[in-house]
Amino acid sequence: MATAVAAPTPEQLSAFHERGYLVMRGLFAPDEVRLLLDTFMALHAGGPIPGCFKPAPPEQAKGDILKLYPRMMHPHRVNDVARRYLLDARLAAILTGLFGEEPLAAQSMFYFKPAGARGQALHQDNFYLKVEPGTCIAAWLALDPADRENGGLEVVPGTHAMDIFCPEEADSTLSFTRDYVPVPPGLAAVPVDLAPGDVLFFNGSLVHGSGPNRSTDRFRRSFIGHYIGRSSERLSTWYRPILTMRGEEVEVAANTDGGPCGVEVAGPH
């Protein structure tokens, strides 16, 4: 098992701050990827988990594959493997460099994204987490190859240095979420193809999203953590309790206002 812990290099830090994202190739070994896949497929087979996962019975899904394979929210609260990888020392070392301070864990998520699933419209994570001061950083771990065909991620470099945008309504035939942030003039969405074990780190203001999974037989499974810096004073209440990377609970004030757009929902995204 690959367990080496290394901080980002000066070149990697410069790239992250310039573009708003950083890809760390092969950060997790194949046996770790398999453990995570086996763990989450077993959780799926076990059925609903209160507060985390609520798949619909096939007769109620009415052909919507995402109702059979919805994302899992905060699985680290119910599963030891998810908790261990949310708090992994390799992520902690990289996040410490990216934040310039101690990182704290706010959320874990798991996406199945089977063949035929809709994508997620372009959005910004800190629209939902509402971290102040500063922002959040995501660590997006690919567990399957993530590419254009099966709905891999795309990012809009440069938006990480911009404010939170007030979103428009997404095309519900392409996105399972409602909010959509158009690409700002002069910028462009860039695809980020990932191999299993790669991790994409990105700033909470970076506009990003994904298209539908247009493959016929491929999942695009991923395990995602959202983190905040130790100096953060407030964030949306739904993400608490917050954990240190050693697993200790930390008190952070709830950000209860509506945010800059007045429509932010303090719930899953």
pTM: 0.95
Tokens for 74? 């905060």
179 belongs to a structural domain: yes
Instruction: Give the number of domains in the chain.
Output: 1
pLDDT value for 5: 80
Residue 264 lies in a domain: no
Q: Is residue 269 part of a domain?
A: no
Q: What is the pLDDT of residue 269?
A: 57
Range of the domain at 26: 10-254
Asked if residue 170 belongs to a domain, the reply is yes
Q: Give the three-class secondary structure for 57.
A: coil
Q: What six digits make up the tokens of 80?
A: 């030891």
Mind listing the pLDDT tens digit of every residue in the chain (269 residues)? 445 688 999 999 999 999 999 999 999 999 999 999 999 999 999 999 999 999 999 889 988 999 999 999 999 999 999 999 999 999 999 999 999 999 999 999 999 999 999 999 999 999 999 999 999 999 999 999 999 999 999 999 999 999 999 999 999 999 999 999 999 999 999 999 999 999 999 999 999 999 999 999 999 999 999 999 999 999 998 898 999 999 999 999 999 876 778 666 645 55
Does residue 123 sit in helix, strand or coil? strand
What pLDDT shows up at residue 2? 46
- CATH number of the domain that residue 112 is part of: 2.60.120.620
Predicted local confidence at residue 221, as pLDDT:
98
Kindly state whether residue 90 falls inside one of the protein's structural domains: yes
C-beta of residue 154 within 8 angstroms of C-beta of residue 147: no
- State how far the Cα of 27 lies from the Cα of 266, in Å rounded to an integer: 31
Cβ-based neighbours of 38, under 8 Å, separated by 6 or more: none
Is residue 132 in a domain?
A: yes
Q: Write phi, then psi, for 53 (nearest 5 degrees).
A: -160, 125
Residue 266 in domain: no
**Strands in 129-221 per DSSP E:** 136-142, 153-156, 168-169, 179-180, 190-191, 199-203, 207-210
Q: Within a domain: residue 4?
A: no
